[in-house]
């Protein structure tokens, strides 16, 4: 498969994956763009693999983890409460998705990556362990902790997670 054909077919799915992983559209665009640029340079080797898409997805996870470290050094740390008036369209589905993304954003990055790879990408523990570079038991532990934290968030009285009338 040619690189242009791969990008045409897979870019929307890679963008969705990266958006769920990063919880920021702008960062997902940057991560996917950087990864596809590096994948283009190595496309002969990547396209010869059994599952090139899994490799590119792993590149996205690795790039996200390194971006997180870069952002921690360069991003301002002001406490800003986002204005939620732009979500007043009454769409329950969108509000639920946004609330879940906010809850995911509160997870540590490795837990978030494990949850996204399991529940969004549908990967088994063994594959997640390979992509995160850890043991399967660590994957199960990370997912267990993340789900426990998400359950606590969903039951909290925090106004960020309450339904609006």
**Percent of the chain residues past pLDDT 70, beyond the cut:** 78
The CA distances from residue 73 to 23, 66, 79, in Å, are 18, 11, 16
Rounded to 5 degrees, φ, ψ at 158 are -60, 130
- Determine contact, residues 154/104, Cβ cutoff 8 Å: no
The CA distances from residue 160 to 8, 26, 96, 148, in Å, are 37, 22, 12, 18
**pTM higher than the cut 0.75:** no
Q: Is residue 71 scored above 80 in pLDDT?
A: no
- Summarised one tens digit per residue, pLDDT across range 19-62 is 998 888 988 999 999 999 999 999 999 999 999 999 999 999 99
Domains in the chain, start-ordered, CATH in brackets?
1-74 (no CATH), 92-165 (1.10.10.10)
């Amino acid at each position: 498969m040619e690189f242009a054909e791969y990008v045409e077919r897979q870019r929307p799915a890679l963008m969705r994956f990266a958006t769920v992983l990063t919880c920021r559209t702008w960062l997902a665009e940057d991560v996917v763009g950087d990864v596809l640029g590096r994948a283009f340079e190595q496309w002969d080797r990547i396209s010869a693999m059994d599952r090139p898409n899994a490799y590119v997805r792993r590149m996205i996870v690795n790039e996200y983890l390194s971006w997180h470290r870069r952002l921690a050094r360069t991003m301002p740390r002001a406490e800003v409460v986002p204005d939620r008036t732009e979500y007043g369209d009454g769409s329950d589905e969108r509000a639920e998705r946004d609330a879940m993304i906010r809850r995911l954003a509160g997870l540590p990055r490795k837990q978030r990556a494990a949850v996204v790879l399991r529940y969004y990408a549908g990967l088994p523990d063994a594959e997640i362990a390979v992509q995160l570079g850890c043991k399967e038991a660590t994957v199960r532990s990370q997912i267990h902790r993340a789900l426990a934290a998400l359950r606590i968030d969903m039951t909290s009285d925090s106004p960020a997670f309450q339904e609006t009338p």
